[in-house]
Chains A and B, each alone.
Chain A
Amino acid sequence: QKEVEQDPGPLSVPEGAIVSLNCTYSNSAFQYFMWYRQYSRKGPELLMYTYSSGNKEDGRFTAQVDKSSKYISLFIRDSQPSDSATYLCAMLFNAGGTSYGKLTFGQGTILTVHP
């Protein structure tokens, strides 16, 4: 079983739709939860990170973490064709605020927003 599971999709939605992307994980030690966006043939771009459980909002993006269920989500409101990309969830265990930072990624979900 992989530590982080993510449905690869692909997911296709019309412009303006609300998109929901999800990941589950098995390692309860994870403390930080990140979402990255990766355009074709580019490196991943950090969208946002969340520490522990709770919600975080940044513009059209909202990240949710439910540690009790080991489940995280990214919501995209008013989706745009420019949001078409692969979305990767990533998780981190960082004991005592050290400089060690192994990110564990999901497989990525391919999203297409069509006009």
Chain B
Amino acid sequence: ETGVTQSPTHLIKTRGQQVTLRCSSQSGHNTVSWYQQALGQGPQFIFQYYREEENGRGNFPPRFSGLQFPNYSSELNVNALELDDSALYLCASSQGTRVYEQFFGPGTRLTVL
């Protein structure tokens, strides 16, 4: 069974740029959720994708957007980067209604200068 993978591991961008982060869900999982974790804080829910449709969204502006592909992998796109976007971005996968069992990837560390 393959776990959740994310790429890239680290990324450095400058303010105003755009970034795309990628996530491959665990084998057999059709739901992907994205979270932002600032240093010293718990993860904050960005949004969730289920069967290629956005299934819910947290309190993040529209410049945070995403996609889910037919193989259930997913992308998180952030436009017009701000300094406060510097964080660890985590994706988690789950299967159907078993959303109480979300398995996280290792994360992408984004630094915005």
Contact = CB atoms under 8 A, between A and B. Distances in A.
Sorting the interface of chain A by its residue count into under 10, 10 to 19, 20 to 34 or 35 or more gives 20 to 34
Interface residues of B, number: 31
Given A44-B90, A103-B102, A88 B48 contact: no
Interface string A14-48: 00000000000000000010101000011111100
A10 to B, nearest CB: 11
A108 to B, nearest CB: 5
A115 interface: no
A39 to B, nearest CB: 10
Contacts, number: 78
B100 A104 contact: no
Interface in B19-70: 31, 33, 35, 40-45, 48, 50, 55-56, 58
Contacts of A41: 109
Contacts of B43: 44, 88, 103, 105
Interface of A: 4, 6, 8, 32, 34, 36, 41-46, 49, 51, 88, 90, 92, 94, 97-108
Interface of B: 4, 6, 31, 33, 35, 40-45, 48, 50, 55-56, 58, 90, 92, 94, 96-97, 99-107, 109
